[in-house]
Amino acid sequence: MSDASVRIDVADGLALHARLWGGRSPQFLLVHGFSHGGFVWRALAAALPEYSLAALDLRGHGDSSHDPQRRYSIHDHVDDLVAAARALDLRDYVLVGHSLGASVAALAAQRLPRPPRALVLVDGGPGLSPQASAHIREEFLRLKFRYRSPDEYLQRLSTSMPLASASLLEAMAVDSLQPLRADEYRLKSDRALGYQVQAPSTEDELWQALGRHPAPLLLIRGAVSALCNKRWCDEFAARVPQAAIETVARAGHAVMLDNPARFGELLRQYAAQWFATRPVPTLHADPVS
């Protein structure tokens, strides 16, 4: 399987980086969570060699541009996702978002040039605790942003994601850092991301977007997720009754890293159903500016 990358120009003179696996038109478009990057989907790409995948780095994350004006709202990410989908010329695909990426994907789904065949939310969505979200931002801001080696950063990852395999975390530590000089690395994520606070109105937008989403909708959550706990999941099921919900054992918030085998198995199982028939995708009209 090939592993290539492209840069995609978006608004404000910025460019997004995207990783590509599979060598043909992407059948999965993957959106990572807060402070991470498209590299979190490497295990999924390995688990689904029969499909082609594209994984974006959101602005301010991974190898995408930092915004000097610190425009990192969820709606900025949505605009970028729409632009990236257009540039990648996606035609028949599944949209997958984790954590922050789940909210970005949910809001973008109705605006994408061609609607996705299905929408997958991974341990994310509306109704999450504001206190938990604030804690995540505060932990991010408390991070060191300079490291002597990937191994030093790996120690922090191992503490924050104790269920993930050592090999996945080792690769993630390398992918997360930009080498500056001998024995000096810095986190690729922009520190300014930690100062973004989601507007209260976004919650209503998310519930409304999910309520009217016409394509199949799947929520995958970690059984021991501190963010998407059982109580939250019950509320989600009540408010979005058309969604299928799967709980992955031995997984916390980072489901695709904590239990990549089960996560990949679930996506293969559902994708076989979603791609069983191939109607001509409907083109969405571009929004009026």
Q: Which residues of the chain have pLDDT under 70?
A: 1-2, 278-289
Going by C-beta distance under 8 Å and a sequence separation of 6 or more, which residues neighbour residue 96? 28, 29, 30, 31, 105, 120, 122, 267
Residue 251 lies in a domain: yes
Q: Which spans in the chain are helix H? A: 42-47, 74-88, 100-108, 130-142, 150-160, 166-176, 201-211, 230-239, 255-258, 260-274
Tokens of 201: 């109105």
Over the stretch 186-211, which tens digit does the pLDDT of each residue have? 999 999 999 988 888 899 999 999 99
Residue 192 lies in a domain: no
Q: What is the pTM of this model?
A: 0.94
Q: Are 210 and 125 in contact (CB under 8 A)?
A: yes
Residue 246 lies in a domain: yes
Q: How far apart are CA 201 and CA 197, in angstroms?
A: 12
| Domain carrying residue 39 | 3-129+199-274
- Give the per-residue pLDDT at 134: 86
Residue 153 lies in a domain: no
Residue 151 lies in a domain: no
Residue 215 lies in a domain: yes
The b-or-e profile of 243-255 (16+ CB within 10 A means b, else e) is: beebbbeebbbbb
Closest CA to 179 of 158, 156, 155, 152: 152
CA atoms within 13 A on the CB side of 91: 7
Residue 182 lies in a domain: no
* CATH for 108: 3.40.50.1820
Look at the chain and report how many structural domains it folds into.
Answer: 1
Q: What is the DSSP string of 5-59?
A: EEEEE-GGG-EEEEEEESSSS-SEEEE--TT--GGGGHHHHHH-TTS-EEEEEPT
